[in-house]
Amino acid sequence: MTSQEIRQQFLDFFKSKEHLIVPSAPIVLKDDPTLMFSNSGMTQFKDYFLGYKEPKAPRIADTQKCLRVSGKHNDLDDVGRDTYHHTMFEMLGNWSFGDYFKKEAIDFAWELLTEVYKIPKENLYVTIFEGDASENLERDQAAYDFWKAHISEDRIINGNKKDNFWEMGESGPCGPCSEIHVDLRSEEEKAKTPGVQLINQDHPQVVEIWNLVFMQYNRKADGSLENLPAKHIDTGMGFERLCMALQGKKSNYDTDVFTPLIAKVEELSGKKYEGILENEKDIAIRVVVDHIRAVAFAIADG
């Protein structure tokens, strides 16, 4: 499948589940003093979560251009040095505004990944929030129980506040989250080290692809949490990583999202891209193609 087909299938799937498809917001935010750039799919929907505005529909899906180069979500230092972080990336998201909650979000994600995209179930792992005593937050037993209907318990892993409690920034809507990780290693490598040991360990082929956030709190400026007026779903799937998984590649840069840009850099520079992780020339080429995309879209978005 081409990246365009992968994106379209995501939108078509959620349309079939009664979601309204909306466009990406601009990367450069115009009316939010707490953030300079859209760093996630939820920024354009913040006022819906907070109850300040009525959503256009209770269920929405989209693909959002995101930029993570500063502030709470900053991937800049990893770009090019690894093969799966970007300054700009696309986040595929489905949203429920006071409509469905954990069960449906988990069921939809599993159906899309395993039945539509046909990712082998044995390559998937999920994480759930283990709770945090300092914030008086309990372990997410409900998410655990909903996952148990799909996946064996040894593949459901507890995660801490850093990985499994999603926050937009210093303040704003937030909540526990459940991530889906995919293991893209060879059978030989899997036999040597079980994937479960590599979740959240920065392995380039055992990566998070989708984050399901169960929005139920607002972090106030004084750091305290208050309940939102209703419970919502915010999910974000890394489009470039999904393309890597579905196109059978080991690096986002080997997908058709990036190969045309790399070919152009090769043509202009007279250097050959070899896809080697620690090779300075290859790191530089990854940085150039990543940044040119980010800069082009950021300029176009004002």
- Figure out which of the listed residues 63, 127, 200, 211 binds ligand SER, where binding follows CB under 6 A: 211
- Figure out which of the listed residues 55, 80, 93, 175 binds ligand SER, where binding follows CB under 6 A: 93
* Residue with Cβ nearer ligand SER (24 or 211): 211
* Residue with Cβ nearer ligand SER (195 or 236): 236
48 in contact with ligand SER (CB under 6 A) = no
Of 47-55, 132-140, 232-240, 273-281: span binding ligand SER (CB under 6 A): 232-240
164 in contact with ligand SER (CB under 6 A) = no
* Residue with Cβ nearer ligand SER (17 or 190): 17
In the complex, what is the shortest distance from the CB of residue 239 to ligand SER, in angstroms, rounded to a whole number? 12
* Residue with Cβ nearer ligand SER (147 or 214): 214
What is the 3-state secondary structure of the chain?
Answer: CCHHHHHHHHHHHHHHCCCEECCCCCCECCCCCCCCECCCHHHHHHHHHHCCCCCCCCEEEEEEEEECEECCEECHHHCCCCCCCCCEEEEEEEEEECCCCHHHHHHHHHHHHHHHCCCCHHHEEEEEECCEHHHCECCCHHHHHHHHCCCCHHHEEEECHHHHEEECCCCEEEEEEEEEEEECCCHHHHHHCCHHHHCCCCCCCEEEEEEEEEEEEEECCCCCEEEEEEEEEEEEEEHHHHHHHHCCCCCHHHCCCCHHHHHHHHHHHCCCCCCCCCCHHHHHHHHHHHHHHHHHHHHHCC
* Residue with Cβ nearer ligand SER (38 or 205): 38
63 in contact with ligand SER (CB under 6 A) = no
* Residue with Cβ nearer ligand SER (80 or 93): 93
- Figure out which of the listed residues 213, 243, 262, 289 binds ligand SER, where binding follows CB under 6 A: 213
159 in contact with ligand SER (CB under 6 A) = no
Residues of this chain that bind ligand SER (CB under 6 A) = 40-42, 91, 93, 166, 211, 213, 234-236
